[in-house]
């Protein structure tokens, strides 16, 4: 491939050993779906700060919500195929839409698949993968982010029931989810902490929620959920009592890898937008992109995107082989989310004044990229994981 074509799209390579021919066929099919059924509507969804629930149903009909899950639920036990779907959804041009789908399939549904009983999986997981129910993971609290041991939401036994009290915030899908996976402290005191997960339906007595407006990810239905002595049966407990910390730690890896995959894909898409505009916009009689200063900046962006992709695909390969890959995942998330933000910033700059206008996608890319270094574990936490892995 010539130099001009090599970085024309900065996209996943079909020859990459991680992906089979079937994976590349899936990629083509999902990309066509995204381009036809999502991209044309994104400007309106962004303006309205909402998108239709039918998107989940459509994804379910296409079998795109459950590829990493058991064939029992219509999946294929193929985590790489699921990663392909994640990458392509990130190209829709709305971080909020991609995040909402990701929070559903990669968080709530994943917890159900890994830790749910047969009854719970039939009640919530199967319709989740069909797209008829929307799920959310509720861990973060107003005063508790990364320090999960400090969760203040409590769950106390009352006969065969549990009474839940507390507040969860920054819950992606929280404002419209049909069920929430809620992290609680079931210890006997504030000093005796024992994390347990529960499945909570928003129509239960004592549950109230509100929409949180955000800088980016605007259609994602981010919400705050308040639990005021919510009574739920023990059958809604997800996993064994006290198993919540293990469940969360086990699932964090995939959440962070998904964010890395999405960041690389979004960065590549933003790069394409910036390059197209740079070759169309003229100044002093020639395209802006032909000036050496911008040629070099595009060269730098392309190189960094390729490096982020290599880190992320290495982590994905390790996970597909059954490795925990904590440090490689942390490296991938740390680097790729930062690169996505830098590329978005460059995209705004190359657009000039138009990059600051809401009718162009450049400003949206910059707003959406701001969240990735925070969500799923901040960049500071990623550096801590990497540092400890280095024995420092």
**How many other CB atoms sit within 10 Å of the CB of residue 263?**
28
Residue with the two structure tokens 């050496």 = 292
Among 46, 376, 356, residue whose Cα is nearest residue 218: 46
**How many other CB atoms sit within 10 Å of the CB of residue 390?**
8
Of 255, 272, 300, 327, the active-site residue reads 255
- Alpha-carbon torsion angle 236, 238, 240, 245, nearest 10: -140
Residue 386 burial by Cβ neighbours in a 10 Å radius (0-12, 13-18, 19+): middle
How many degrees, rounded to 5, is the angle at CA 342 between CA 136 and CA 383?
Answer: 65
Q: Judge whether 29 counts as a catalytic residue.
A: no
Provide the token pair at 243: 């198993």
Catalytic center residues: 255
């Amino acid at each position: 491939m010539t130099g001009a074509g090599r970085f024309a799209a900065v996209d996943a390579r079909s020859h990459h050993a991680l992906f089979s021919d079937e994976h590349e066929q899936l990629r083509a099919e999902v990309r066509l779906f995204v381009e036809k059924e999502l991209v044309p509507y994104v400007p309106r969804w962004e303006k309205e700060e909402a998108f239709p629930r039918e998107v989940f149903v459509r994804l379910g009909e296409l079998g795109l919500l459950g590829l990493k899950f058991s064939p029992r639920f219509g999946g294929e036990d193929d985590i790489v195929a699921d990663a392909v779907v994640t990458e392509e959804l990130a190209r829709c041009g709305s971080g909020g839409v991609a995040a909402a789908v990701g929070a559903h399939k990669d968080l709530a549904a994943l917890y159900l698949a890994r830790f749910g009983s047969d009854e719970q999986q039939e009640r919530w997981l199967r319709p989740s993968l069909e797209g008829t129910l929307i799920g959310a993971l509720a861990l973060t609290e107003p005063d508790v982010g990364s320090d999960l041991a400090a969760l203040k939401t409590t769950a106390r036994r009352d006969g065969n029931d549990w009474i839940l009290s507390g507040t969860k915030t920054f819950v992606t899908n929280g404002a419209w989810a049909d069920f929430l996976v809620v992290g609680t402290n079931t210890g006997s005191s504030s000093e005796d902490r024992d994390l347990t997960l529960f499945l909570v339906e928003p129509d239960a007595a004592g549950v109230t929620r509100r929409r949180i407006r955000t800088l980016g990810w605007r259609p994602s239905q981010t919400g705050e959920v308040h639990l005021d002595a919510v009574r739920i049966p023990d059958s809604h407990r997800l996993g064994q009592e006290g198993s919540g910390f293990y469940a969360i730690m086990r699932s964090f890896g995939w959440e962070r890898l998904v964010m890395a995959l999405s960041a690389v894909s979004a960065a590549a898409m933003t790069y394409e937008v910036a390059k197209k505009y740079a070759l169309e916009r003229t100044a002093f009689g020639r395209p802006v992109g032909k000036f050496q200063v911008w040629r070099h900046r595009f060269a730098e962006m392309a190189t960094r995107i390729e490096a982020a992709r290599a880190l992320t695909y290495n982590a994905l390969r390790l996970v597909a082989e059954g490795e925990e890959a904590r440090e490689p995942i942390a490296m991938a998330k740390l680097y790729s989310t930062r690169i996505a933000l830098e590329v978005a910033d460059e995209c705004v700059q190359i657009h000039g004044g138009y990059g600051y206008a809401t009718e162009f996608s450049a400003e949206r890319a910059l707003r959406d990229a701001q969240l990735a270094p925070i969500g799923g574990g901040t960049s500071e936490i990623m550096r801590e994981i990497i540092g400890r892995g280095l024995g420092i």
